[in-house]
Amino acid sequence: MLSDKDIELAKPRTDYNLESPHHEHNDCIRIAYEWFDAQNKISNKSSRGYALKHLIEEWAGRYVSQSDVSVAAELHPDIHGKYPFFNISARLTEPSISRLERISEAFKHSSYREGHNPDDYKVNE
C-alpha cells in the first residue's frame, strides 16, 4: 500500500489540470491507485477521455477529486498521461472490491456507491 510519505512526495511533482489541487484524504489517492492498477494498460495514451473520477467514486463509495486521480497516476509506474487521457484500455476493468479492504475511507460516502454501474465495465477482475 502507498505510504503517506510517498503520496506527499508525489503531490508537488504531479501535473494537475487545475489551478488549485484539492485533496481530502490520502486514502482517496490509494483508492484511485487501486482502480488504475486493475486496468489493462496500453502503449499510448487513450484519445478518449473518461469521467474517471466518477467511475472511481462509484466503485469505491467515496468522493475522490480529480487531483487525487492525477496523483495516483503519477505514483503508478505503469500509468502515463494527463487527466483524463491515460494509457488504459477502452475496455475498462471493474476492479475487485477486495482491493478496498485495507483502505479505511472506502465506502465512507455510500451515496456514491449507489451510482455504481457494472455495465460501465467490459471486464471484471
Reported as a single tens digit per residue, the pLDDT across 77-107 is: 999 999 999 999 999 999 999 999 999 999 9
Contact 77, 2 (CB under 8 A): no
pLDDT digits (tens, 9 = 90+) for 8-36: 999 999 988 777 899 999 999 999 999 99
Helix ranges, 1-125 (H):
4-10, 26-38, 52-60, 66-75, 110-114
Give the amino acid at 76. Answer: H
For residues 68 and 121, give the distance between their C-alpha atoms in angstroms, rounded to a whole number. 21
Segment 41-52 shows an average pLDDT of: 83
> What's the confidence (pLDDT) of residue 75?
98
